[in-house]
Amino acid sequence: MRLPRPVRQTGYLLSLGAMLAGTTVLTLVTYGETDVATQFHYIPIIISAFLFGTLGALICAVVAGFLAGPYLLITGRVSDPQWLPWITRFLFYAVIGLITSRLSATIMQQAKEFQALFHVAQAINSSLRPSSVLRRIVRHARNRLRIRAVSIRLLDPKTGELALAASEGLSPSYIAKGRVDVDSSAIDRQALDGQTVVVEDVARSDQLQYADEVRSEGIGAIMVVPLKSRRRPLGVFRAYASKPKRFRKAERSLIEAFANQAATAIENAELYDNLRQSYFETVRSLTRTLEARDPATAGHSERVTHLVALIGERLGLRRDEVDLLRFGAVLHDIGKVGISEDALGTVGPTNGTPADLLFQTHPLIGESILQPVSFLEPVLPMVTCHHEYLDGSGYPEGLRGESIPFFGRLAAAANEFDRLVSAWEGDPLEAIGAAREQIRAMAGTKLDAEIVDVLLQVTESMQELTGERGDLDVSADRDTDVEDEDEV
């Protein structure tokens, strides 16, 4: 168990006092026959420098200098009225203490910097969602650099806008000052060309897009570092100082190290999202091929996917959960691949015919197909339970109430709504209105009331329903993961 800091410091002081006292006794015992005894005073001075910094080292040097007096008296080396030997030894002790304290401070500072970069590297390796990683980077950077603020802005290649991705230390009013455009911001334009830009005094600079807002924010100096991938510029990393200053070489190196970590996190996330989107597009192609066997259900999986994603977002699910919902929704009818074309036309309530019974097995067939895919395990209930009802009248197992997993109840509501809209003959606006009324009537009896309530909210806007694509959301990172509270 780690002792409280005051207890540890008291122990350090007692240990140093014991060392000094022991050295003094050793000096007296040797009766001035050797200088070795006084050399032991360096040990507590060096230890004080590491534990208590410059002030601790100087205090210990003063004490050691006076304790060296018995040795000087015994050997008669204070006969000089100037007591020069005594003063010389004290000054030598003080110099040793100062040098040691400075070395100790440098080592500790570098250790903290390495620790901060290590925590950032851990964040990059443990998460492929850039928002939480970038927030952690700016927090660590500001704490380690001890500066006014830090921000990361990402470039939109289409619009030329640098959108704020993460910041620490900037006021809401400054953040809301307006768009940051590459064409209007000279320092950002230079940074995106690959240069590190330093504005040592913002009051004398004409390179700022929002010069008045920068000064009102209390910013005195800015350093802008490019964020680069192997293929293109990604954005900029900005460090803000409260007063005009010239960033030291060590500060520049640390800021550039944080910027490189941020660029790595962004590039990793892009690669991951591209891979996921490619996989999702492959899955969509498979479901489209499947739906081509039954023209009556063309586009059904994509509409259900879109609706499920809207419901999941409105329920406050994390982005990774919404992405999984999209996979589960687009694959919810994958089991139909094992159903004959004669049975595929079965929709809505069934009559117990052999074709109906065969059709009712498609959720179980879908489950058996997807079970080997480990990352889809959380959303398998969307495949197996999208025809289950709360009152037990659904299939394939006739589950009731809470025995139907939440994701299964969500898929059932979205699936039922699209089935009702698709079955309506006539005006699409009337179809949506009629489907909403029927869904409302099923709340609490056949469908989950909470999910139905959210479904009715998201279907109020016709614009919401016109989206036919169920793409994974790889452009906007809305994950709500709780940030780590580790501070270094």
Fold match flag (132-270 vs 292-465): no
Identity (one letter) of the amino acid at 7? Answer: V
pLDDT at 261: 80
Q: How many residues does the chain have?
A: 488
| Integer angstrom CA distances of residue 241 from 141, 200, 438, 488 | 12, 9, 61, 20
The H or E element containing residue 79 is: none
Contact 141, 255 (CB under 8 A): yes
Find tokens 């059932």 and name the residue.
412
**What is the arithmetic mean of pLDDT over 174-182?**
87
pLDDT digits (tens, 9 = 90+) for 58-69: 777 777 766 665
pLDDT digits (tens, 9 = 90+) for 319-364: 888 988 998 998 888 888 877 666 565 555 555 566 667 778 889 9
Which residues face 162 on adjacent strands? Answer: 155
Question: Which residue did the predictor score with more confidence, 222 or 476?
Answer: 222
Tell me the pLDDT band of 473, cut-offs 50, 70 and 90: very low
* Domain range summary for the chain, segments of one domain joined by +: 5-111, 132-270, 292-465
Average model confidence (pLDDT) across the chain: 77
CB atoms within 10 A of CB 280: 19
pLDDT of residue 190 exceeding 70 = yes
Q: Rounded distance, CA 444 to CA 48, Å?
A: 72
Residue among 331, 328, 287, 281 nearest 309 (CA): 328
pLDDT of residue 80 exceeding 50 = no
Q: Rounded distance, CA 187 to CA 208, Å?
A: 7
pLDDT at 442: 94
Return the DSSP state at 372: T
pTM over 0.75: no
Find tokens 């869904």 and name the residue.
439
Q: How does strand 233-241 pair with strand 149-156?
A: antiparallel
pLDDT of residue 187 exceeding 60 = yes
Burial 207-230 (b: 16+ CB within 10 A, else e): bbbeeebbeebebbbbbbbbbbee
Q: Rounded distance, CA 413 to CA 348, Å?
A: 13
Cα-to-chain-centroid distance, residue 37:
56
Q: Is 299 left (phi over 0), alpha (psi -120 to 50) or beta?
A: left
Residue among 273, 188, 270 nearest 231 (CA): 270
CB atoms within 10 A of CB 16: 22
**What is the arithmetic mean of pLDDT over 421-450?**
86
First to last CA, the chain: 20
pLDDT of residue 27 exceeding 60 = no
Q: What is the DSSP string of 42-71?
A: HHHHHHHHHHHHHHHHHHHHHHHHHHTHHH
Residues in contact with 361: Cβ distance below 8 Å, sequence separation at least 6, in sequence order: 335, 338, 339, 396
Contact 385, 405 (CB under 8 A): yes
Q: Rounded distance, CA 270 to CA 403, Å?
A: 38
Q: Rounded distance, CA 232 to CA 254, Å?
A: 23
Class of the domain covering 292-465 = mainly alpha
Q: Rounded distance, CA 128 to CA 265, Å?
A: 7
Q: Rounded distance, CA 114 to CA 135, Å?
A: 18
pLDDT at 184: 86
> What percent of the chain clears pLDDT 90, i.e. is strictly above it?
21
Q: Is 205 left (phi over 0), alpha (psi -120 to 50) or beta?
A: beta
Q: Rounded distance, CA 116 to CA 122, Å?
A: 10
Q: What fold does the segment set 132-270 form as a domain?
A: Beta-Lactamase (3.30.450)
Tell me the pLDDT band of 109, cut-offs 50, 70 and 90: low
Q: Is 235 left (phi over 0), alpha (psi -120 to 50) or beta?
A: left
| Integer angstrom CA distances of residue 362 from 358, 368, 468 | 8, 10, 24
85 phi, psi to nearest 5 deg? -60, -40
